[in-house]
Every structure is written in C-alpha cells, then in structure tokens.
Amino acid sequence: MSGDLSTKNDSGIPSGCGPLLPLGNANTKPMRQQIFEHVRAAGRATRTDVIRTLGISAGSATALTADLINAGLLREVDSVPRETGRGRPAVALEVIPETNFVIGIKLSDEAHSAVLTDFAGDAVATASLQTPAHPKSLDEILTEVGALMQDVLAAAQKNPNNIAAVGIGMSGIVDHQAGTVPWSPLLATRNSDFAAKFEARFSVPLHLDNDANMLTLAELWFGAGRAKSDFAVVTIEQGVGMGLVIDNRLYRGARGMGLELGHTKVQLDGALCRCGQRGCLEAYLADYALAREAATALHQQANDHHSPNALLTALFTQAKAGNEAAQTIFRRAGRYLSVGLANVVQLFDPALIIISGERMQYDYLYADEVLAEMHRLTLNDGRSACTVETHAWGDLVWARGATALALSAVTDQAVAAIS
C-alpha cells in the first residue's frame, strides 16, 4: 500500500480495488455480483478470465455479463494484446466509474478527513477540516461533517445528488448494524443515534463503523491485505484499535462491536483510560497516555500545549537527543505494545499483523526489541513466526477505507436491482 490514492497503474489501466482472493465455497453472493466484484478487483478482466476464476460456463458468463452491461455497471473495452503489436486486443470488461459516487470520512479529535470515490474505487477528490479537540454533541459533529462534505463535493465538482452513500469511521464503540454509537471519545453523550440523525439531516444513506475497521478495509480493498485471506490491523493514534479479516471478510464479532484491543486489560487497577475504566492497553499506549507522561518528563503542565501532538513531538525530539526519561516512556509503551500484539497472535493466529497509525512515526514502537518481546511472549512451538509490518498512514487512507464500506453497500443494492 502506498500513500498514492490513485488506483491507476503506469499504463493508465485501472489496477482495481477489493479483495483479490476468491471466497470459494464460503461465498454466498449471487454469481452476477461475484462477476462484478471480480472485474472491479482485477481492474479489467476478459470473459475468459471470469470463466476460469469463478468456474462457470461460457454461457453463464455471457448472459450475466450482458445483464451487468445493460444495467450500466460494466462496459466493454479493448484489453492488452497477448503479444505487443500482434493481433487485435481481446475484449475486456471494466467498471463504469461514473455509475455511482460515495464519500468516505474519518472523524478524529483534531481534524476530519474525506475522500470522494467513484464506483471503480478511484479517489476523485479529498478534503480535510480542522476541528476543536474536545467532546462534542451529535449536532456539532454533524455540522462539521456537513461542512466537510461540502468541501469535498466542491473539490470534485459534484453535488449532493451525485452521492449514493457515505461511509464514516470514528473511534469508540460503534454498532455498525444499528448505526448507533454507544460510546466515543468524540461525543459528549453516550448511545447516540448517529446514522438516523445523519440520514434525516443529509438525505443520503450512511454506513457507520469503528475507525480501526475502516483502516482494515483500506488494507483489504487497496493495500497489503488484498492478497491475504487472514490478517489483523492494530492502530495506534488517539486510541488503540484493531481490525481483523478472516477469509477475506471483515470480522466484527457477534454483535458487531468486538475486537476492542485498546480496552483489553493489561494492569489491574492501573492507569485511568478515557473510557472511564482502569488498566486498559490504550491507557499506556495512546496519544493522551504518552502526552500525560510527556508533560511530567518535560517538566510542563499538560495544558501548556494546544494538543497532545506538540507534547509528543517534543518528547520524541528529547528521546532522540538522549533524554533518558523520554526514552524510558517510549520503551515502556513499546513493551505494552508487545503484550498487546502477543495477545492478538495467541487469540487469532494471523499470518500478518499490520501496525498502523500516526504514532508509527515513532520508531521506538516498532523497534526490534518490541517485536522480539512479542515473540517471547507468544507460544511459538510448532508455529511459524507471525509477520509484522508497519504502515504510518495519514487520515486520508482511513477515510478511503470508509469509501470501501459505502461502495460495498452500494454494490449490493445496484446488482440486486438488476431484474
């Protein structure tokens, strides 16, 4: 995965988006939708590719692709010749990008980010909005979201009627199915009916989820997870989150609110977490936790700076300059990260863990010692070591993951509407 939001390769051919590995017998989607999603994942695909990959007959492939073409979802284009300069290019299929547009949004403490994406998964425009860093009412958040959507629509030269759906990722406990937020550090009240209020205000469908799930979808649809059937994502920013992919699909738990790694307990009666409980992993690793200790190490009051970022930047500078107290804070956070990662390995046995988030710019958190301790804390007999990668992405990649959530829902509806 790269920082480039484009999904075009060097030759200008779409490189596709979405999982590359088929679900096999676990795929319960209609074959028409499987064909559409295969074409979008490949960028372009011939009918022969579809037949071979999905194991269907030539007649079925012809009939079902014709349905998708007639519905305005796919179109025929010239493919690349098998031998350059020889013969006529084969006919391929690709998604018609302008069929649908969606917006993906990541809500954060200090800035919100948005990406407007077409139906092929290409990013058309981006926008960001600086916000006051304090818990807000739902109406205040929705006002900020409205301003952000206006900015990204203006950048794309679109209007609200062009948008088929919006995806939003935010920190906290989010009920994806109900569209409610039982708790979020961004909101001043609990049990917010977020999706219903959003849809009443903006008249567009909203798909809401935890922000760690959005980053996991970004990896699954656009990044390192496209060719992985099982992997985990651990995020470290204002909080500590986790997303999990099993058999190419995002796993949320029985009630859609699982995998809260940041609120697993690592110390009984330990440090106070912003959720109100004590001893959470997040209370030793997240921005506010490090800033709390940074203020002491730097002999400053926590409110001397406008945000934790300023304290953390100063702390990291001091650590690099040899300040032992600053180095100790980062090393201690790294040890707690080792505990968290070891627990993920023990519980889920993923082939890959991707550690991501703005804090991964601090190399103490992914030093060799951190990963070595993770392996020491893991029962490794008969088990190959879990691969760990670090991706220090900014908020736009999280927002792009939110577009994947919206695209998936819009795709379900568009293909189901074909008679």
Give pLDDT tens digits for 104-147.
999 998 899 999 999 999 999 999 999 988 899 999 999 999 99
Location of structure tokens 């998964």: 121
Alpha helices in 85-242 (DSSP H): 138-156, 194-202, 211-222
In the predicted model, is pLDDT for residue 193 greater than 60? yes
Protein fold of 228-393:
Nucleotidyltransferase; domain 5 (3.30.420)
- The boundaries of every CATH 1.10.10.10 domain in the chain are 24-95
> d(Cα 337, Cα 341) in Å, to the nearest integer?
6
Q: Is pTM beyond 0.85 here?
A: yes
Lowest mean pLDDT among 17-21, 46-50, 361-365: 361-365
State residue 257's pLDDT score.
72
Q: How confident is the model at residue 206 (pLDDT cuts 50, 70, 90)?
A: very high
Per-residue pLDDT of 53-88, as tens digits, reads: 999 999 999 999 999 999 999 999 987 555 455 566
In the predicted model, is pLDDT for residue 3 greater than 50? no
State residue 401's pLDDT score.
95
Q: Across the strands, what pairs with 241?
A: 235
In the predicted model, is pLDDT for residue 317 greater than 90? no
- Maximum average pLDDT range among 73-82, 157-166, 266-275, 283-292: 157-166
Q: How confident is the model at residue 34 (pLDDT cuts 50, 70, 90)?
A: very high
> d(Cα 192, Cα 274) in Å, to the nearest integer?
18
State residue 383's pLDDT score.
73
Protein fold of 99-217+396-416:
Nucleotidyltransferase; domain 5 (3.30.420)
> d(Cα 39, Cα 135) in Å, to the nearest integer?
43
CA–centroid distance for 106 within its chain = 9
- Say which residue, 203 or 253, is predicted with more confidence: 203
- Averaged pLDDT, 162-184: 95
Protein fold of 24-95:
Arc Repressor Mutant, subunit A (1.10.10)
Give the burial string for 6-29 (b: 16+ CB within 10 Å, else e): ebeeeeeebbbbbbbebeeeebee
> d(Cα 114, Cα 148) in Å, to the nearest integer?
7
State residue 13's pLDDT score.
52
Per-residue pLDDT of 340-397, as tens digits, reads: 999 999 999 998 999 987 777 777 777 788 889 999 999 877 777 888 998 877 789 9
Max Cα–Cα distance, the chain, nearest Å: 74
- Axis crossing angle, helix 308-320 with helix 324-348, rounded to the nearest 10: 110
In the predicted model, is pLDDT for residue 11 greater than 60? no
Quote the tokens at residue 370: 């951190």
- Averaged pLDDT, 221-228: 91
- Maximum average pLDDT range among 23-27, 160-164, 359-363: 160-164
Quote the tokens at residue 17: 């988006």
What is the identity of the amino acid at 95? V
- Say which residue, 64 or 323, is predicted with more confidence: 64
In the predicted model, is pLDDT for residue 297 greater than 80? no
- Say which residue, 27 or 177, is predicted with more confidence: 177
Would you say 401 and 215 are in contact if contact means Cβ atoms under 8 Å apart? yes
Mean per-residue pLDDT of the chain: 88
Q: Given the DSSP bridges, would you call strands 249-251 and 352-356 parallel, antiparallel or unpaired?
A: unpaired
State residue 2's pLDDT score.
35
Helices (H) and strands (E) in the chain, counts: 12, 15
Of the candidates 206, 205, 221, the residue with the CA atom closest to the CA atom of residue 123 = 221
State residue 140's pLDDT score.
97
- The boundaries of every CATH 3.30.420.40 domain in the chain are 99-217+396-416, 228-393
